[in-house]
Amino acid sequence: MADGARTGPVGIGVIGAGNISSQYLRNLTAFPDTRVLAVGDAIPDVARARAAEYGVPVAGDASVVVGHPDVEIVVNLTIPAAHAEIAELAIGAGKHVWNEKPLAADRAAARRLLGAADRAGVRVGGAPDTFLGVGLQAVRRLVDEGAIGRPLTALALMQSPGPDSWHPNPAFLFQDGAGPLFDIGPYSLTTLVQVFGPVESVAAAGSTAHPRRMVGSGPRAGETFEVTTPSHVGALIRFESGGSAQAIFSFDSPQWRALVEITGAEGMIVVPDPNEFDGKIRVRRLGARRARTATTTVARFSRGIGVLDMARAIREGRPHRATGELAYHVLDVMSAIAESTRGGAFARVESRVAPAEPLPPDWDPYARTLTG
């Protein structure tokens, strides 16, 4: 899948100039192996302001990104309901696509997206890329080296009062295709798949604390909006490997908490926040009186490293790590969890995916590796 006609840094275009775009643009404009060439948004003036902030030469609507001859990867940061439509627009223009999570609003749209990319001979990548951060990569190495023995079970909690308290436009995060399951669930679920492998089946229950919420910041502060999806989801997860996990994803808790604990046959490991790229890792061996801090990692990078790995992979003709297939499996798991909250029984997960190849320990996003 190498693009033999091109050399040097990979051209990037961003569609969606909202909140998350700042993190991507800050990094993608700093990596020597990527060049951000265009920013697009449904509101072109918003795109122009964001482009000016990061020194990006071209801005406007989505067409200026997909039509740019030197843009090779379109980074799709639109709202979840638009992910598939924008991705297919880019694929139709012969571009590789990186989608923010979730990959699409539902399985059918995601399958169409992946099928279109396969026919066009382009790649799809998908968030989250936090599993490529130094923290979760260190966890992966410890588990692979046998620090806790064979992984058996896990506990995953990601809970908060909800993004309505700080997000200037939070309504879409409380609609179908979002909620805590689809918004914050991908971080824990992607992490667990990297350790346990693919999910086989799930069971879940969901609830909604408040039928309406209020915007807590920005120019729309004080406005209310309807909540149409569960704001709290608890799930039981069975992995094909025989392992299992319990998970809670909630926007209803006054306590902010992000926790992943993995227990193995010979010990347990406390994982850094899966929504971050670094953190403290603690290991407690079976029979030990206390846990020890295995390592404290400090992030050298953040969102966008999955795009960078994809860019380098295109030039090198190798697989990238945060693949569309991985993003689809996580979407499949979340969709099955959502179905179980409505039906009250275990739901099978049909897709399968292998854990990604770990990054080399000395992988450096700020190294210049693509020349020409």
Check whether residue 93 and residue 207 sit in a common domain.
no
Do β-strands 224-226 and 212-214 pair in parallel, antiparallel, or remain unpaired?
A: antiparallel
Q: Is residue 365 in some structural domain?
A: no
Any domain includes 329: no
Judge whether residue 96 has pLDDT over 70: yes
92 and 150 together in one domain: no
Q: Report the predicted TM-score, pTM, of the whole model to 2 decimal places.
A: 0.94
Whether residue 159 sits in one domain with residue 251: yes
Annotated catalytic, 280?
A: no
User: Please, which pLDDT band fits residue 176 given cuts at 50, 70 and 90?
Assistant: confident
What confidence category does residue 3 fall into, taking pLDDT thresholds of 50, 70 and 90? low
Q: Which tokens go with 94?
A: 């012969």
Do 247 and 205 lie in a common domain? yes
Distance of CA 368 to the CA centre of its chain: 25
Assess contact for 222 and 232: CB atoms under 8 A. no
Question: Of 233, 264, 297, which marks where a domain is finished?
Answer: 297
> Does the structure show a pLDDT above 60 at 354?
yes
Give the C-alpha separation, 113 to 115, whole Å: 5
How far apart CA 85 and CA 307 sit, in angstroms, is 20
- Pairing mode, if any, of strands 151-159 and 257-264? antiparallel
> Which residues are bridge partners to 14 per DSSP?
39, 75
Residue 344 reports pLDDT greater than 50:
yes
Residue 344 Rama label (left phi>0; alpha psi -120 to 50; beta): left
Peptide bond into 361 cis (omega under 30): no
Task: Decide if 254 is inside a domain.
Answer: yes
Q: Is residue 343 part of a domain?
A: no
> What CATH number has the domain bearing residue 75?
3.40.50.720
| Residues 225 and 140 grouped into a single domain | yes
Structural domain includes residue 339: no
Report the domain count for the chain.
2
**Over 90: is that where the pLDDT of 82 sits?**
yes
Q: What pLDDT band is residue 2 in, cutting at 50, 70 and 90?
A: very low
* Residue among 101, 123, 312, 329 flagged as catalytic: 101
Q: Mean pLDDT of all residues in the chain? A: 95
CATH number at 271 reads 3.30.360.10
Residue 246 · residue 236 · CB < 8 Å: yes
Q: Are 97 and 76 in contact (CB under 8 A)?
A: yes
199 within domain boundaries: yes
pLDDT for the residue 1: 38
Least Cα distance to 329 among 196, 207, 148, 130 occurs for 196
- Say if residue 188 is in the same domain as residue 242: yes
pLDDT in tens, 225-269: 999 999 999 999 999 999 999 999 999 999 999 999 999 999 999
> CA-CA distance, 82 to 80, in Å (whole number)?
5
Q: Is residue 99 domain-shared with residue 166, that is, in the same domain?
A: no
Position 341 in a domain: no
pLDDT of 363 > 70? The answer is: yes
Tell me, what's the pLDDT at 291? 74
Residue 308: CB partners within 8 Å, gap ≥ 6? 27, 28, 31, 33, 34, 365
Report the share of the chain in percent with pLDDT over 70. 99
Look at residue 3 and tell me if it is in a domain: no
Residue 4 pLDDT greater than 60, yes or no:
no
Tokens of 212: 């309406």
147 and 124 in a common domain? no
The pLDDT score that the predictor gives to residue 287 is: 81
Q: Domain span at residue 44?
A: 10-129+303-321
Q: Report the chain's C-alpha Rg in angstroms.
A: 20
Q: pLDDT tens digits for 266-309?
A: 999 999 999 999 999 999 998 887 778 888 878 878 999 999 99
Q: Are residues 162 and 213 in the same domain?
A: yes
Task: With beta carbons less than 8 A apart as the criterion, state whether 352 and 48 touch.
Answer: no
94 DSSP assignment: T
Element (H, E) at 236: strand 232-239
Q: What is the pLDDT of residue 289?
A: 77
